[in-house]
Amino acid sequence: MAPPPTAPVDHSLILVIDDDPSFREFLTIGLSRYGLEVSAAVDGIDGLAHLAARRPVAIVTDMRMPRLDGLEFCLSVRAQPAYGDIPIVVLTNGDLMGEPMLAVGKLRMVTPLAKTVPMKDLVALVGRELAA
């Protein structure tokens, strides 16, 4: 059986996923100021739908969300070979050393970070991941 078709790569698109409207807007505006186009989703399920429609070059997602959290989202993305090379940054207000974030950090091309990371550092990290 052939793998499902994937959306074409949009070379400036970052997918942002966060259930907090204020933080989602903060990320969208902040990343846009660095010349990146942003597609915003409200949770992991919405994020998977966005991913199928337009393939981003990187994903920035919240860890704690309803319906499909950051870990489940990352596992779903990594289970699809067509999306295995997309860098993912998982943000949290919680404990970076907690079990869910440690599990996220073990996934290929997934970086756990605190939500307090400065925007310029987040953009630099995404840039490094894309250059790798």
Give pLDDT, residue 2: 36
How many domains does the chain divide into? 1
3 state SS of 49: helix
Q: Are 92 and 62 in contact (CB under 8 A)?
A: yes
68, part of any domain: yes
21, part of any domain: yes
**Mean pLDDT, to the nearest integer, of 42-58?**
95
* CATH number, domain containing residue 21: 3.40.50.2300
Nearest alpha carbon to residue 114 among 88, 93, 89: 93
Q: Which residue type sits at 7?
A: A
Residue 101 — very low, low, confident or very high, per pLDDT cuts 50/70/90?
A: low
40, part of any domain: yes
4, part of any domain: no
Range of the domain at 96: 13-131
6, part of any domain: no
**Predicted TM-score of the model (pTM):** 0.85
Q: In the numeric block, which tokens belong to residue 120? A: 């310029």
Residues 112-127 have pLDDT tens digits of: 889 999 999 998 888 8
Q: Count CB atoms within 10 A of the CB of residue 24.
A: 19
48, part of any domain: yes
